[in-house]
Every structure is written in C-alpha cells, then in structure tokens.
A and B are shown apart, each in its own frame.
Chain A
Amino acid sequence: MKRLSAKAVRNIEGSLFIAPWVVGFFVFMAFPIFYSLYMSFHRVQVLATGIEANFVGFDLYKSILFENGSVLYNDLIPFLSEAVIMLPIIIIFSLLIAIILNQRFPGRLAFRMIFFLPVIFTTGRVILEFIAQGEGGLDFLSRYNVNSFIATRLPELWANAIITVLESFILILWYSGVQILLFLAGRQTIPSSIYEASRIDGANPWETFWKITLPGMIPFIFLNLIYTVVDLFTFPTNPIIAKVNSSNYGLSSALAWIYFMIILAFLGVTLLVFHRITRSYRVVNS
C-alpha cells in the first residue's frame, strides 16, 4: 500500500472532524437559504399532492417594497431607529460594568453572580411578559413628563424611538448580559504587566483607561457590535419575526430576504462607522 504524505493524512483527519458540521451546514443552512430564495420568486401553494410553485419574478418583492409597504415601513423603520439608539447604550453600559466587575473589591463574586443572571432570562417569553407588565420603564420619566419634552423638540420618528428606548431602558440593560461576559473575558487578555509599567511611568488611571484599556478592548467592542446587532434583530419584540409565517410561503420568504439584506446593510454601516471612529485611534497608538 502506498503511504500517504503527511499533509494528505492531516487533511483527511481535519476533514473527518469538520465533516459533521459541513453536512449540517448543507442541510440546515445552504439548502434552506437557497430554497427560500427560490420561494421568494414564486407563488407557493402547499397541496396534498405536493408543493406547487409558479414563477412570479420580482412581484413579491415589489409588493412588499412598494405596493404593500405597511409591514415594512410602519413596523421596521421605527424598530431600526430604536436599534440605532440602543446599540451604543448596550455597548457602553456593558463595557463600563465589565471594567468595574474586573476590579478587586469585597462582594465581587456576589455581584458577578447577579450580573450574569440576565443571560438566563433574556431569551424568549419571560422578557415579553416583563415588557407587558411595564417592568423596565424609568419612574422619573412620567414624573417629570420627559416624553412630551422630547416629543415637542425632535422629529417624530426619532422622538418616538427615543421614547420607546427610554420606556424600556431597563430592559435594554437586561440585554447586556452576554456583552458583559464578552467584555469581562476580553479584559483578561490585557496582561497586568502593562498596567504596572504604565503606573511606574506615572500614568494616572484616567490616562491608563484611554491609552491601554480602551485600545485593548477594541477587538471586543467589534465583536460585541456584531453580536448585539445580530441579537437585536432576533429580539422577541422585533415586529418582523412574527410576520414570517407559513400562511404564505412565497411572500414570507421574500420578506425574510429583504429583512436579511437590511440586517447586512445595518451591520455594514455599523462596522463602517466603528472603523471610522477607531481609525484615528489606531494611528495615534501605533
């Protein structure tokens, strides 16, 4: 028997390990993606004899985008503007909490235990129940009539978005569980020797934060941005999620695709903005 080269052996071993995932990718990702793309161009009917699909071209997309836009514009646009406001709140809040939790102080473990609690609740129905109960608002908003103050001073779309965000402000903090975890894990990757060196050089903690901690956290902020955007778009309160259902396969698929494109665009813009902001930073520090 001819002996295989070492490289070939390594390739075979690697392929064996990745095989289940790749098979799964074809079955649970590639096939559904292409099939839903196919369905989005067809009028699909599920009959007893099988599935009947008639080609309609871009009709379904046109109907969602232009003729019957209420689903998209009335529900999604407000949601997007909320997302724009929520994103920085979640990132900054979780970064702050992670840095504080990284300090040494008595009771640290107890606080950490509490701060990971949201990870348990923040999926699924429970959070919807809390929203329905009005948990998650801020008391002082109604007391000082902040809402009408905002409403009279800003364009309607943004005023409504800000009011919605404020009214569920605490829930937004609830959504920071995983982000805090990621930041906390990321903070461990900055070696403490750098902090000692900077202390010896006479840097005060304020400078240390801006010159060492923040640049070191940039990859994690990047990761958290992606995670948060993906997470926001599968929020249980997201209006589009309920609209994708099996009552009309073709139309729902087209809607899902438009939705996916919006996610991609949103992600793209977010990363571009992030890149712009951090570019100057990287130039200064390198």
Chain B
Amino acid sequence: MSNYKVPTMAEMAAKGESPEVLFWVGCAGSFDERYKAVTQAFVKILNKVGVSFAVLGPEETCTGDPARRAGNEFLFQMQAVANIQVLNGYNVKKVVTACPHCFNTIKNEYPELGGNYEVIHHSQFLQQLINEGKVALQGGGEFKGRKITFHDSCYLGRANNVYEAPREVIKALDVELVEMKRCKTKGLCCGAGGAQMFKEPENGKKDINVERTEEALATGANTIAVGCPFCLTMMSDGVKNKNKESEVKVYDLAEMIAKDMGI
C-alpha cells in the first residue's frame, strides 16, 4: 500500500510533467485549523479516485479577494498579478478550489488581468466524479438517514449561480436534504463575505451568523453542510453560540464524501 500524495507544481515541472488540474487550496485551506481537515479530505478523494492533480504549495498566496472587497485595489492587483504570473508560468489550464471566494476571483476577476483558466468549485468537481461513477458512495456510514441542510454561500450561489451541484452531492449520500426558509437565490449570508471575516461586525441587534444558524436549526437538521471555509467557521461559531455543538455538526461537502468513502 502506498501513501497519499500531494504533488506540487514545482515537483511536477521538474519531472517535465503537468497535472490535469491545479488544486487551489486558499489561505483558509492552508492555515485554518478546522478547515485544514477539508483540504486533507479533498486531497484524499483526489488520490483515491486517481485524478491527476497538483498544488502550488509554498508558491501559493492569497488571491487578494478580501483586499479588493475591503477597497484596497492596489493590494488586490499586486496579489493577483503575481499569482497569474505563477499560474501562467506553469501553463495551468484548469483550477479546482474548495473556496468560493478564490473560485470567484480566479474565475471572474483574473481574466481581465491576464489569467484565463477553467475554474470549478469542488462541489462541481465532486458532482462530476459522482456522475461519472468515479466516486463510489457506500450510502451508509455516518450520514445514513441524517437530516441535512445546505447553507448556500453567496459567492457560489448568487455570485455565480451554482446552486444545484452541492445539492446533488448531498443527495448522492443516503440522507434527507431539507431547505432553510431562505435558500438558493434568497439565501442569507453567513456574515463573513466582503472581508467581514477579518473584522468585528458593526453594531446591531445580532450577529449575522447567529441569525443564519437559528434558521438552519429551525429545519430540525442535525447536520449543516457548507461549501466554503468562511461559512464553515461562521456556522460552527453560530452552533456553539446556541450551545448545540453536541447535537449539530457542521461539515464541508468534501468531508462528507470522504467520510462516506471511508477515507
């Protein structure tokens, strides 16, 4: 038996190879303690299925999304242009990422700065793997028969109209998918987008993630599925705020698939 592999673009290039797809990990995927598990789960799936992939590893840097949305266009473009030079240097064609913010920025904002790639979100990638029969789900295991609700990320849903892929992925598990009152085009933000993740919220009656968690809990679901590192943090904090962390779990789609595959 061999170990899981995480090839970097540099290693591959040294061997004169190039992978089919670049896995863009993102800052949260690289540094956030909780979210690193998602990155690891996704890498395991890629290994298991035999997808030819690589990561940038130490060469990756922030896409610049939070800087741009907080108004610092200079910083954003410095980051973006540097990243595009690296990506173009490796002649990258296809990018997959688990972060809707990275997804949106690389897909929609890099082209104008000279970076043109086919960019897909890991929910779309997982859906493809499932449809092609490459991911064989056992339909049993931890999630069997569970009530699950999916929290739409603004940058995946409204910003890019990806509503169905994550739902298809969830439905492929043997579970009951329940929708929140505000979902899809009317979904409610977790509160972290637009660089809000990096500062305290303005004064108000309530924090946005608490409002959203209340809505998720109202469905009676015992699992909240997300497809975004910020949503994962915000919803987990919301569940803690409501003292429900023993009954209600927050998972990323990749983690759920990996668990079901028994890896």
Chain B associates with chain A: no
A residues apposed to B, CB below 8 Å: none
> Which B residues have a C-beta under 8 Å from some C-beta of A?
none
